[in-house]
A = this chain, B = another copy of it.
Amino acid sequence: MSKKYFGIDIGGTNTKIGLLDSDFNILAEEKIKTHSKEGARNTFSRIWAKSLEMLKQQNVDLDDIVGIGMGIPGPVVNKSTVVIAANFSWGNNFNAKELMEEISNKPVRVENDVRLIALGEASFGAAKDFKNPVVIPIGTGVSAGIVQNGQVLEGSFGVAGEFGHIPIEEDGIPCGCGLTGCIETYVSAPGIVRYAKKIIDEKQYGLMYEYFKINNLEAHDVFRFYTQGDELSQMVIENFSKKLAYGMGMIINILNPDAIVIAGGVAKSSAIIIPLVKKYLPQYALSISKDIPIIQCSLGDSAGIKGAAALIKDM
């Protein structure tokens, strides 16, 4: 027998199921629709049915499965309970661990999906040689996975790491969280696009301006125009990087981590972002931390699944 693990990443639209070997390599990966509105029991049952299919296809014995790690959006505590139903209509204080254990008859641990990206990078990826790294996934939002002794900090209601909701501008735009001028209104893919449109509207020249006349603008477009020397996109990326450096400085001064890893969709542009962040960071972080490594994630899209499997790696 050789140990195998399921790492499952439940998203608003799709759920990714990974089957991992004893070295936490992904043997197989499948995607199904989450269809959360049909209820948690329905979703979890379909996930488990697909998982059993994968075992058959891979010729893996069900007895070899050590356990299941699952990532779910929202605040999660005790590796089991989703405190607030932000994304799904599965109710507050929903014990996802209990339900999945009942359905699968395997040990289950649950964690917030974004924190699992951090756990994946800390266990197997870019952060694996550090003791207390902070992983910052940047995509539709931004938060921090604070790693301490191989665990990601949960906090008392499962919302540790929400530095994206620190307000940095008194007259800033309202944020989805209810506060105003949060870091996330700048440091996120939508934040980049929003600020780009503002600058385009004000300045009205250059490549990005011309492009936006007839195209929809996405964050990766802004980075592309940046590399082409477009001035407006440079203003946008400079502003993004400065705000990211400010948030990173807060994290560094409060937590004194030994490395920062940039993850999430926006991390694909790390070659642009990291030098800019390093330029601004000395304004915000104590000089004792001036040489802290700031590095790009290495697991890409599989960080979530690997992080989910890492939840059960001591089993």
Q: Which residues of A contact B (CB under 8 A)?
A: 75, 84, 131-132, 144, 146, 148, 153-163, 165-167, 177-180, 249-251, 253-258, 283-284, 286-289
Contact = CB atoms under 8 A, between A and B. Distances in A.
Contacts of A283: 167, 179-180
Contact of A289 (B157, B288, B289): B157
Contacts of A254: 144, 146, 160-163, 166, 250-251, 254-255
A165 B252 CA distance: 10
Contacts of A156: 131-132, 256-258
A82 to B, nearest CB: 13
Contact of A287 (B146, B166, B178): B178
Which one of A154, A162, A283, A288 has the greatest number of beta carbons of chain B within 10 Å?
A: A288
Contacts of A289: 157, 159
A262 to B, nearest CB: 17
B132 A163 contact: no
Nearest to A286: B165
25 contacts: A75-B288, A84-B288, A146-B255, A148-B148, A153-B256, A154-B256, A157-B289, A159-B256, A159-B288, A160-B254, A161-B254, A161-B256, A162-B256, A163-B250, A165-B253, A166-B249, A166-B254, A167-B283, A167-B284, A178-B286, A179-B283, A180-B283, A250-B254, A254-B254, A254-B255
A282 to B, nearest CB: 9
Q: Which 5 A-B pairs rank lowest in CB-CB distance, beginning with the nearest?
A: A155-B256, A156-B258, A160-B256, A162-B253, A159-B256
Given A131-B156, A160-B255, A167-B284, 9 more contacts: A144-B254, A148-B148, A148-B153, A156-B256, A156-B257, A159-B289, A162-B254, A178-B286, A254-B255
B250 A159 contact: no
A250 B253 CA distance: 11
Contacts of A84: 288
A178 B166 CA distance: 23
Contact of A166 (B161, B179, B284): B284
Count chain B CB atoms within 10 A of each CB in A146, A156, A289 and give the residue with the most. Answer: A156
A171 B153 CA distance: 34
A253 B167 CA distance: 10
Given A132-B156, A148-B148, A156-B131, A163 B253 contact: yes
B256 A177 contact: no
A117 B177 CA distance: 34
